[in-house]
Amino acid sequence: MNGPVIELDNVSCIVGGRPVLDEVDLKVRQGDLYAVIGPNGGGKTTLLRVILGLLPASSGTVQVFGKDPRQGRSRVGYVPQYRTFDFHYPVTVEEMVLSGRLGHIPGPFRRFSSDDHEAAKKALGRTGILHLSRRPICNLSGGEQQRAIIARALVGDPDLLILDEPMVYVDIPTEMHLFDMLGGLLPRMTILLVTHDIGAISTHVTRVACLNGKIFTHDTDEISEEMLTAAYHCPVDLIAHGIPHRVFRDHEGVK
């Protein structure tokens, strides 16, 4: 396709009588690793639910691969927030990843084929945890569990990978390794991730937006002071690439 992979035009969304997204415009192009940052409660997960077709927009238009989001969903791999998974469930890593193939198996009596098992091995290899395939998912570290969640999303060989807060509960070295892994998936797939942590921006990221009800963006991988101040309602002096660190002004008196 020649157009954007994801395109939102003047999208607003009201949830439980409360406006969450306000006239959001967003274009994610093929081969992007697009990061949307913003504070908790700023509408990031709602934005993803609208893009996935799980929540209707109150106004505006949403297209994924040039279609209604529900029609384009089969080409999308989704990594929900870490806390939504029960890692105490008695399954191996491979069994968890295989569960991502269930939507590709027709009929009421679903059995995994040799192709499904091969796809699981490929996804585990791409996320660097093939050697852990037989291990119980509960015995993995937080970073390894996050890689397993991503492998589960990759097992369907998506053209678009969407991740909701993928760097939560991992330390900085693991965060950097995860970004390296995501960078390695480019350009064969497009990646959109959301995060509340303004330190979780890697040199692999190609474009950035700030979201807090409204979206603030420009067409590069840089974050301006104006974008951050508008989104976070407090001034931020510096975001540095590479080893993540942040320098903030004094917030005293800032509302």
Average the pLDDT over 207-225 and give the result. Answer: 76
Residue 121 lies in a domain: no
* Phi, psi angles (nearest 5°) of residue 169: 70, 20
Residue 119 lies in a domain: no
Q: Quote the domain boundaries for residue 237.
A: 6-86+159-248
Query: What is the tens place of the pLDDT at every residue in 112-170?
Result: 889 999 999 999 999 999 999 999 999 999 889 999 999 999 999 999 999 999 887 77
Residue 183 lies in a domain: yes
Residue 113 lies in a domain: no
CA-wise closest residue to 141 among 87, 181, 100, 99: 87
Query: What is the tens place of the pLDDT at every residue in 62-114?
Result: 999 999 999 988 899 999 987 778 888 899 999 999 999 886 665 566 688 89
Average the pLDDT over 205-219 and give the result. Answer: 85
Residue 111: CB atoms within 10 Å:
7
Number of domains in the chain: 1
* Pairing mode of beta strands 207-212, 214-217: antiparallel
Record the tokens describing residue 234, joined without a space. Answer: 């407090």
Residue 127 lies in a domain: no
pTM of the model: 0.83
| CATH code, domain with 75 | 3.40.50.300
Residue 102 lies in a domain: no
Residue 171 lies in a domain: yes
Write the DSSP symbol of residue 90. S
Residue 191 lies in a domain: yes
Per the rule left: phi > 0, alpha: psi between -120 and 50, beta: everything else, 211 is: beta
